[in-house]
Structure 1
Protein backbone atom coordinates (compact mmCIF):
# COMPACT_ATOMS: atom_id res chain seq x y z
CA UNK A 1 0.00 0.00 0.00
CA UNK A 2 1.38 3.40 -0.91
CA UNK A 3 2.14 5.88 1.82
CA UNK A 4 -0.20 8.42 0.20
CA UNK A 5 -3.33 6.28 0.64
CA UNK A 6 -6.19 8.06 2.48
CA UNK A 7 -7.38 7.39 6.06
CA UNK A 8 -4.01 6.87 7.67
CA UNK A 9 -5.59 7.05 11.16
CA UNK A 10 -8.07 4.30 10.31
CA UNK A 11 -5.36 2.11 8.83
CA UNK A 12 -3.20 2.69 11.89
CA UNK A 13 -6.08 1.68 14.18
CA UNK A 14 -6.75 -1.49 12.23
CA UNK A 15 -3.05 -2.39 12.02
CA UNK A 16 -2.63 -1.82 15.75
CA UNK A 17 -5.63 -3.98 16.60
CA UNK A 18 -4.38 -6.83 14.41
CA UNK A 19 -0.89 -6.63 15.90
CA UNK A 20 -2.17 -6.35 19.48
CA UNK A 21 -4.24 -9.48 18.91
CA UNK A 22 -1.31 -11.33 17.34
CA UNK A 23 1.61 -10.16 19.51
CA UNK A 24 -0.05 -8.54 22.51
CA UNK A 25 0.11 -4.88 23.40
CA UNK A 26 3.57 -5.11 24.97
CA UNK A 27 4.95 -7.06 22.01
CA UNK A 28 3.94 -4.40 19.50
CA UNK A 29 5.91 -1.24 18.74
CA UNK A 30 4.90 2.00 17.06
CA UNK A 31 7.25 1.08 14.21
CA UNK A 32 5.43 -2.26 13.79
CA UNK A 33 2.06 -0.48 13.62
CA UNK A 34 3.27 2.14 11.18
CA UNK A 35 4.87 -0.47 8.94
CA UNK A 36 1.72 -2.64 8.92
CA UNK A 37 -0.38 0.42 8.05
CA UNK A 38 1.97 1.42 5.25
CA UNK A 39 3.01 4.72 6.79
CA UNK A 40 6.04 6.08 8.59
CA UNK A 41 6.44 6.34 12.37
CA UNK A 42 6.32 10.09 11.87
CA UNK A 43 2.85 9.76 10.35
CA UNK A 44 1.82 7.60 13.30
CA UNK A 45 2.77 10.41 15.69
CA UNK A 46 0.77 12.93 13.64
CA UNK A 47 -2.33 10.95 14.60
CA UNK A 48 -1.54 9.43 18.00
CA UNK A 49 0.67 10.44 20.91
CA UNK A 50 1.67 6.84 21.62
CA UNK A 51 0.50 3.28 21.01
CA UNK A 52 -2.01 3.47 23.88
CA UNK A 53 -3.81 6.37 22.27
CA UNK A 54 -4.73 4.20 19.29
CA UNK A 55 -7.17 2.56 21.71
CA UNK A 56 -8.29 5.70 23.55
CA UNK A 57 -8.55 8.31 20.82
CA UNK A 58 -12.09 9.64 20.81
CA UNK A 59 -12.56 9.50 24.58
CA UNK A 60 -12.62 13.29 24.80
CA UNK A 61 -15.33 13.53 22.13
CA UNK A 62 -17.48 10.96 23.98
CA UNK A 63 -17.02 12.89 27.22
CA UNK A 64 -17.93 16.20 25.54
CA UNK A 65 -20.98 14.60 23.92
CA UNK A 66 -22.23 13.26 27.25
CA UNK A 67 -21.57 16.53 29.13
CA UNK A 68 -23.46 18.47 26.45
CA UNK A 69 -26.43 16.09 26.76
CA UNK A 70 -26.37 16.56 30.53
CA UNK A 71 -26.37 20.35 30.11
CA UNK A 72 -29.26 20.15 27.64
CA UNK A 73 -31.42 17.98 29.92
CA UNK A 74 -34.62 19.76 30.96
CA UNK A 75 -34.13 22.09 33.92
CA UNK A 76 -36.80 20.20 35.87
CA UNK A 77 -34.94 16.88 35.47
CA UNK A 78 -33.64 15.32 38.65
CA UNK A 79 -29.87 14.85 38.87
CA UNK A 80 -30.22 11.17 38.00
CA UNK A 81 -32.55 11.93 35.09
CA UNK A 82 -30.01 14.40 33.72
CA UNK A 83 -27.23 11.83 34.08
CA UNK A 84 -29.42 9.20 32.44
CA UNK A 85 -29.88 11.57 29.49
CA UNK A 86 -26.10 11.89 29.24
CA UNK A 87 -25.59 8.13 29.36
CA UNK A 88 -28.29 7.56 26.74
CA UNK A 89 -26.66 10.21 24.54
CA UNK A 90 -23.54 8.04 24.47
CA UNK A 91 -25.51 5.63 22.28
CA UNK A 92 -25.45 8.27 19.52
CA UNK A 93 -21.67 8.28 19.76
CA UNK A 94 -21.56 4.53 19.12
CA UNK A 95 -24.14 4.50 16.32
CA UNK A 96 -22.40 3.16 13.25
CA UNK A 97 -19.37 2.10 15.28
CA UNK A 98 -18.38 -1.42 14.52
CA UNK A 99 -19.04 -3.63 17.49
CA UNK A 100 -16.30 -5.98 16.33
CA UNK A 101 -13.72 -3.22 16.80
CA UNK A 102 -15.11 -2.46 20.27
CA UNK A 103 -14.91 -6.13 21.19
CA UNK A 104 -11.31 -6.42 20.00
CA UNK A 105 -10.41 -3.20 21.80
CA UNK A 106 -11.95 -4.48 25.04
CA UNK A 107 -10.00 -7.74 24.76
CA UNK A 108 -6.71 -5.88 24.38
CA UNK A 109 -7.49 -3.60 27.32
CA UNK A 110 -8.58 -6.49 29.54
CA UNK A 111 -5.36 -8.37 28.79
CA UNK A 112 -3.05 -5.46 29.66
CA UNK A 113 -2.83 -3.98 33.19
CA UNK A 114 -1.42 -0.65 31.91
CA UNK A 115 -4.44 -0.29 29.61
CA UNK A 116 -6.93 -1.27 32.31
CA UNK A 117 -5.46 1.52 34.40
CA UNK A 118 -5.85 3.96 31.48
CA UNK A 119 -9.47 2.87 31.05
CA UNK A 120 -10.14 3.53 34.75
CA UNK A 121 -8.58 6.98 34.41
CA UNK A 122 -10.86 7.64 31.44
CA UNK A 123 -13.91 6.66 33.51
CA UNK A 124 -12.75 8.82 36.45
CA UNK A 125 -12.35 11.78 34.10
CA UNK A 126 -15.85 11.21 32.75
CA UNK A 127 -17.21 11.05 36.31
CA UNK A 128 -15.50 14.35 37.17
CA UNK A 129 -16.92 16.03 34.09
CA UNK A 130 -20.45 14.81 34.80
CA UNK A 131 -20.11 15.89 38.43
CA UNK A 132 -19.04 19.37 37.29
CA UNK A 133 -21.98 19.48 34.88
CA UNK A 134 -24.37 18.68 37.71
CA UNK A 135 -22.74 21.28 39.96
CA UNK A 136 -23.25 23.81 37.16
CA UNK A 137 -26.95 22.90 37.27
CA UNK A 138 -27.02 23.79 40.99
CA UNK A 139 -26.96 20.24 42.34
CA UNK A 140 -25.45 19.78 45.81
CA UNK A 141 -21.87 18.42 45.67
CA UNK A 142 -22.58 15.07 47.37
CA UNK A 143 -25.65 14.43 45.20
CA UNK A 144 -23.76 15.47 42.05
CA UNK A 145 -20.88 13.10 42.84
CA UNK A 146 -23.20 10.19 43.62
CA UNK A 147 -25.33 10.70 40.49
CA UNK A 148 -22.24 11.02 38.26
CA UNK A 149 -20.59 7.91 39.74
CA UNK A 150 -23.85 5.99 39.29
CA UNK A 151 -24.21 7.18 35.70
CA UNK A 152 -20.69 6.11 34.78
CA UNK A 153 -21.30 2.72 36.40
CA UNK A 154 -24.45 2.35 34.29
CA UNK A 155 -22.50 3.33 31.18
CA UNK A 156 -19.70 0.85 31.92
CA UNK A 157 -22.05 -2.06 32.73
CA UNK A 158 -24.24 -1.36 29.68
CA UNK A 159 -21.23 -1.08 27.37
CA UNK A 160 -19.82 -4.39 28.62
CA UNK A 161 -23.23 -6.03 28.16
CA UNK A 162 -23.56 -4.57 24.66
CA UNK A 163 -20.26 -6.15 23.64
CA UNK A 164 -21.56 -9.66 24.36
CA UNK A 165 -25.06 -9.13 22.97
CA UNK A 166 -25.97 -10.24 19.46
CA UNK A 167 -25.17 -7.63 16.81
CA UNK A 168 -28.87 -6.86 16.35
CA UNK A 169 -29.14 -5.44 19.90
CA UNK A 170 -28.68 -1.66 20.01
CA UNK A 171 -26.57 -0.07 22.72
CA UNK A 172 -29.39 2.38 23.53
CA UNK A 173 -31.65 -0.57 24.38
CA UNK A 174 -28.96 -2.05 26.63
CA UNK A 175 -28.50 1.31 28.37
CA UNK A 176 -32.27 1.62 28.94
CA UNK A 177 -32.37 -1.92 30.32
CA UNK A 178 -29.45 -1.19 32.64
CA UNK A 179 -31.11 2.01 33.87
CA UNK A 180 -34.28 0.01 34.53
CA UNK A 181 -32.26 -2.57 36.50
CA UNK A 182 -30.73 0.26 38.55
CA UNK A 183 -34.19 1.65 39.23
CA UNK A 184 -35.29 -1.76 40.48
CA UNK A 185 -32.24 -2.05 42.71
CA UNK A 186 -32.87 1.30 44.36
CA UNK A 187 -36.67 0.98 44.72
Structure 2
Protein backbone atom coordinates (compact mmCIF):
# COMPACT_ATOMS: atom_id res chain seq x y z
CA UNK A 1 0.00 0.00 0.00
CA UNK A 2 1.41 3.37 -1.04
CA UNK A 3 1.83 5.95 1.66
CA UNK A 4 0.89 9.54 1.14
CA UNK A 5 3.86 11.81 0.45
CA UNK A 6 3.17 15.44 1.39
CA UNK A 7 4.34 17.93 -1.24
CA UNK A 8 6.04 15.16 -3.21
CA UNK A 9 5.85 16.96 -6.54
CA UNK A 10 7.34 20.17 -5.15
CA UNK A 11 10.06 18.23 -3.32
CA UNK A 12 10.98 16.39 -6.51
CA UNK A 13 11.09 19.61 -8.54
CA UNK A 14 13.28 21.29 -5.93
CA UNK A 15 15.61 18.28 -5.74
CA UNK A 16 15.91 18.08 -9.52
CA UNK A 17 16.80 21.75 -9.85
CA UNK A 18 19.38 21.45 -7.06
CA UNK A 19 21.01 18.41 -8.66
CA UNK A 20 20.90 19.81 -12.19
CA UNK A 21 22.58 22.96 -10.89
CA UNK A 22 25.21 21.03 -8.93
CA UNK A 23 26.05 18.20 -11.35
CA UNK A 24 24.46 19.12 -14.66
CA UNK A 25 21.37 17.76 -16.34
CA UNK A 26 23.15 14.95 -18.18
CA UNK A 27 24.91 13.60 -15.11
CA UNK A 28 21.82 13.54 -12.89
CA UNK A 29 19.56 10.50 -12.73
CA UNK A 30 15.95 10.12 -11.68
CA UNK A 31 17.14 7.85 -8.87
CA UNK A 32 19.33 10.66 -7.53
CA UNK A 33 16.44 13.14 -7.74
CA UNK A 34 14.11 10.79 -5.88
CA UNK A 35 16.72 10.06 -3.22
CA UNK A 36 17.45 13.77 -2.69
CA UNK A 37 13.70 14.37 -2.24
CA UNK A 38 13.42 11.42 0.16
CA UNK A 39 11.09 9.60 -2.22
CA UNK A 40 11.15 6.63 -4.57
CA UNK A 41 11.67 6.54 -8.33
CA UNK A 42 8.14 5.20 -8.61
CA UNK A 43 6.84 8.34 -6.89
CA UNK A 44 8.88 10.44 -9.29
CA UNK A 45 7.30 8.77 -12.32
CA UNK A 46 3.82 9.25 -10.88
CA UNK A 47 4.42 12.98 -11.21
CA UNK A 48 6.76 13.34 -14.20
CA UNK A 49 7.16 11.18 -17.32
CA UNK A 50 10.94 11.74 -17.52
CA UNK A 51 13.74 13.78 -16.02
CA UNK A 52 13.27 16.63 -18.50
CA UNK A 53 9.63 17.37 -17.75
CA UNK A 54 10.29 18.26 -14.12
CA UNK A 55 11.64 21.56 -15.47
CA UNK A 56 8.56 22.26 -17.59
CA UNK A 57 5.78 21.20 -15.26
CA UNK A 58 4.31 24.71 -14.89
CA UNK A 59 3.74 25.23 -18.62
CA UNK A 60 0.04 24.39 -18.59
CA UNK A 61 -0.51 26.62 -15.57
CA UNK A 62 1.14 29.55 -17.37
CA UNK A 63 -1.05 29.00 -20.43
CA UNK A 64 -4.14 29.00 -18.23
CA UNK A 65 -3.03 32.12 -16.36
CA UNK A 66 -2.40 33.95 -19.62
CA UNK A 67 -5.63 32.83 -21.30
CA UNK A 68 -7.80 33.66 -18.30
CA UNK A 69 -6.27 37.12 -17.92
CA UNK A 70 -6.81 37.93 -21.60
CA UNK A 71 -10.41 36.69 -21.32
CA UNK A 72 -10.99 38.73 -18.14
CA UNK A 73 -9.86 42.01 -19.69
CA UNK A 74 -12.80 44.43 -20.03
CA UNK A 75 -14.91 43.89 -23.13
CA UNK A 76 -14.02 47.38 -24.30
CA UNK A 77 -10.28 46.71 -24.02
CA UNK A 78 -8.29 46.85 -27.24
CA UNK A 79 -6.45 43.72 -28.34
CA UNK A 80 -3.19 45.33 -27.17
CA UNK A 81 -4.73 46.08 -23.76
CA UNK A 82 -5.96 42.48 -23.48
CA UNK A 83 -2.46 41.28 -24.37
CA UNK A 84 -1.03 43.60 -21.69
CA UNK A 85 -3.45 42.11 -19.15
CA UNK A 86 -2.18 38.64 -20.03
CA UNK A 87 1.45 39.70 -19.71
CA UNK A 88 0.68 41.38 -16.38
CA UNK A 89 -0.75 38.10 -15.14
CA UNK A 90 2.38 36.22 -16.23
CA UNK A 91 4.52 38.75 -14.41
CA UNK A 92 2.46 38.28 -11.26
CA UNK A 93 2.74 34.48 -11.56
CA UNK A 94 6.53 34.74 -11.29
CA UNK A 95 6.49 37.12 -8.32
CA UNK A 96 8.95 35.91 -5.71
CA UNK A 97 10.35 33.17 -7.95
CA UNK A 98 13.26 35.01 -9.54
CA UNK A 99 16.05 32.94 -7.97
CA UNK A 100 14.34 29.67 -8.86
CA UNK A 101 13.70 30.91 -12.40
CA UNK A 102 17.31 32.06 -12.72
CA UNK A 103 18.63 28.65 -11.66
CA UNK A 104 16.21 26.85 -13.97
CA UNK A 105 17.20 29.07 -16.91
CA UNK A 106 20.89 28.32 -16.32
CA UNK A 107 20.14 24.58 -16.51
CA UNK A 108 18.04 25.01 -19.68
CA UNK A 109 20.65 27.24 -21.35
CA UNK A 110 23.35 24.60 -20.81
CA UNK A 111 21.52 21.78 -22.59
CA UNK A 112 20.31 21.81 -26.21
CA UNK A 113 17.59 19.23 -25.55
CA UNK A 114 16.15 21.51 -22.87
CA UNK A 115 16.44 24.58 -25.08
CA UNK A 116 14.38 22.79 -27.70
CA UNK A 117 11.76 21.87 -25.09
CA UNK A 118 11.70 25.51 -23.96
CA UNK A 119 10.91 26.58 -27.53
CA UNK A 120 8.07 24.07 -27.65
CA UNK A 121 6.75 25.53 -24.39
CA UNK A 122 6.91 29.04 -25.86
CA UNK A 123 5.09 27.89 -29.00
CA UNK A 124 2.37 26.37 -26.84
CA UNK A 125 2.05 29.61 -24.88
CA UNK A 126 1.75 31.47 -28.20
CA UNK A 127 -1.04 29.15 -29.36
CA UNK A 128 -2.91 29.68 -26.09
CA UNK A 129 -2.57 33.43 -26.46
CA UNK A 130 -3.76 33.30 -30.07
CA UNK A 131 -6.81 31.29 -29.02
CA UNK A 132 -7.59 33.71 -26.18
CA UNK A 133 -7.39 36.69 -28.51
CA UNK A 134 -9.58 34.97 -31.09
CA UNK A 135 -12.19 34.29 -28.40
CA UNK A 136 -12.23 38.06 -27.83
CA UNK A 137 -13.09 38.54 -31.51
CA UNK A 138 -9.62 39.41 -32.79
CA UNK A 139 -9.46 38.07 -36.33
CA UNK A 140 -6.60 36.40 -38.11
CA UNK A 141 -3.90 37.20 -38.94
CA UNK A 142 -3.97 39.92 -36.28
CA UNK A 143 -4.52 37.46 -33.40
CA UNK A 144 -1.54 35.33 -34.43
CA UNK A 145 0.69 38.35 -34.99
CA UNK A 146 -0.20 39.83 -31.61
CA UNK A 147 0.36 36.47 -29.92
CA UNK A 148 3.77 36.01 -31.57
CA UNK A 149 4.74 39.54 -30.56
CA UNK A 150 3.49 38.93 -27.02
CA UNK A 151 5.50 35.71 -26.76
CA UNK A 152 8.58 37.59 -27.97
CA UNK A 153 8.04 40.28 -25.36
CA UNK A 154 7.65 37.61 -22.67
CA UNK A 155 10.82 35.75 -23.70
CA UNK A 156 12.93 38.91 -23.93
CA UNK A 157 11.69 40.28 -20.61
CA UNK A 158 12.10 36.91 -18.90
CA UNK A 159 15.71 36.57 -20.06
CA UNK A 160 16.48 40.08 -18.88
CA UNK A 161 14.83 39.33 -15.54
CA UNK A 162 16.83 36.18 -14.87
CA UNK A 163 20.04 37.85 -16.02
CA UNK A 164 20.67 35.85 -19.14
CA UNK A 165 21.67 38.95 -21.09
CA UNK A 166 23.88 40.68 -18.53
CA UNK A 167 27.53 39.68 -18.75
CA UNK A 168 28.05 40.33 -15.04
CA UNK A 169 25.10 38.04 -14.27
CA UNK A 170 22.70 38.55 -11.44
CA UNK A 171 19.72 39.58 -13.54
CA UNK A 172 17.54 42.59 -13.29
CA UNK A 173 16.31 43.93 -9.97
CA UNK A 174 13.28 45.29 -11.84
CA UNK A 175 10.17 43.10 -11.38
CA UNK A 176 9.26 40.90 -14.33
CA UNK A 177 5.90 42.64 -14.66
CA UNK A 178 7.66 45.98 -15.21
CA UNK A 179 10.00 44.46 -17.79
CA UNK A 180 7.02 42.96 -19.61
CA UNK A 181 5.28 46.34 -19.77
CA UNK A 182 8.50 48.01 -20.90
CA UNK A 183 8.91 45.40 -23.62
CA UNK A 184 5.36 45.86 -24.84
CA UNK A 185 5.84 49.64 -24.93
CA UNK A 186 9.15 49.25 -26.79
CA UNK A 187 7.47 47.01 -29.34
CA UNK A 188 4.66 49.53 -29.80
CA UNK A 189 7.15 52.37 -30.28
CA UNK A 190 9.17 50.33 -32.78
CA UNK A 191 6.06 49.53 -34.81
CA UNK A 192 4.85 53.14 -34.70
CA UNK A 193 8.18 54.38 -36.10
CA UNK A 194 7.92 51.71 -38.78
TM-score computed with the length of structure 2 as normaliser: 0.87
Judge conservation of contact 1:87–1:152 (CA < 8 Å) in 2: no
Q: For residues 52 and 44 of structure 1, what CA distance do their matches in structure 2 show?
A: 12
Judge conservation of contact 2:161–2:173 (CA < 8 Å) in 1: no
Residue 188 of structure 2 is matched in structure 1 by 183
Q: Tell me, which stretches of 5 or more residues in structure 1 are unaligned?
A: none
Describe the SS at the equivalent of 2:87: helix
Does residue 72 in structure 1 map to residue 72 in structure 2? yes
Describe the SS at the equivalent of 2:49: coil
Residue 44 of structure 2 is matched in structure 1 by 44
CA shift for structure 1 position 168: 4.4
Judge conservation of contact 1:15–1:36 (CA < 8 Å) in 2: yes
Q: Tell me, which stretches of 5 or more residues in structure 2 are unaligned?
A: 164-169
Correspondences of 1:16-31 after superposition (within 5 Å): 16-31=16-31
CA shift for structure 1 position 167: 6.7
CA shift for structure 1 position 14: 2.1
> 1:35-94 deviations in whole A, cap 9, x for unaligned?
121111011112222111211111101110100111111222222221121111111211
Q: For residues 133 and 94 of structure 1, what CA distance do their matches in structure 2 show?
A: 21
Runs of 4 or more, structure 1, over 6 Å off, are none
Describe the SS at the equivalent of 1:141: coil
> 1:125-156 deviations in whole A, cap 9, x for unaligned?
11111111111222111000000000111111
> 1:81-130 deviations in whole A, cap 9, x for unaligned?
21121111111211232x11111100111111111111111111111111
- Which one is further off, 114-123 or 164-173? 164-173
Residue 147 of structure 1 is matched in structure 2 by 146
Judge conservation of contact 2:65–2:89 (CA < 8 Å) in 1: yes
Does residue 170 in structure 1 map to residue 175 in structure 2? yes
- Which one is further off, 32-41 or 11-20? 11-20
Correspondences of 1:99-118 after superposition (within 5 Å): 99-118=98-117
Q: For residues 107 and 168 of structure 1, what CA distance do their matches in structure 2 show?
A: 17
Change (3 A) 1:167 1:150: closer
Does residue 15 in structure 1 map to residue 20 in structure 2? no
Q: For residues 142 and 66 of structure 2, what CA distance do their matches in structure 1 show?
A: 18
TM-score computed with the length of structure 1 as normaliser: 0.90
Q: For residues 168 and 124 of structure 1, what CA distance do their matches in structure 2 show?
A: 27
